[in-house]
Amino acid sequence: MCGWLLQELGRRLKSINPVVAEIFTLMSRDEARHAGFLNKAMSDFNLALDLGFLTKNRKYTFFKPKFIFYATYLSEKIGYWRYISIYRHLQRNPNNQMYPLFEYFENWCQDENRHGDFFTAILKAQPQFVNDWQSKLWSRFFCLSVYITMYLNDHQG
């Protein structure tokens, strides 16, 4: 999930629910750290990614929070399992660890897992998000779309 969105949620919830606001703020910090690792790695290869143009040139579509929560939950949990598989492979095969970024990978994996756990708690705390037939269909849709995306990314020629 985008760090700026987590940070904004933290700001807006501060007076309503300070504990949840702090969790969003901490997750924002984690995402900023991940972005910093990636930006440093990219700069080592003379690459850069500037996403600033998105906020200036793109029209945003509003999604209800429950859809954001579903998508984020799946992204964080599935991301954890993908990353932990890579981490375990690198632990068994240290000669494949080609870049220092992977020295931080275990903590990164655990960040993803904790974020997924938090979104699990959000969904469970809001039964109306998960208990009707429409929510179950949306959940299946998000799960299927994430797996299809992973498959296509992993099997591109």
72-103 per-position pLDDT tens digit: 888 888 888 888 888 899 999 999 888 887 88
Angle at 21 (CA atoms; ends 84, 49), nearest 5 degrees? 50
Prediction pTM value? 0.77
Separation CA 67–CA 155 (nearest Å): 27
Average pLDDT, the chain: 85
Q: State pLDDT tens for residues 96-141.
A: 888 887 887 888 889 999 999 999 999 889 888 888 888 888 878 8
Q: Are 109 and 80 in contact (CB under 8 A)?
A: yes
CA distance 79 to 11: 26
Query: Whole-angstrom Cα distance, residue 81 to residue 77?
Result: 7
Q: What's the rounded Cα separation, in Å, for the pair 150 and 44?
A: 27
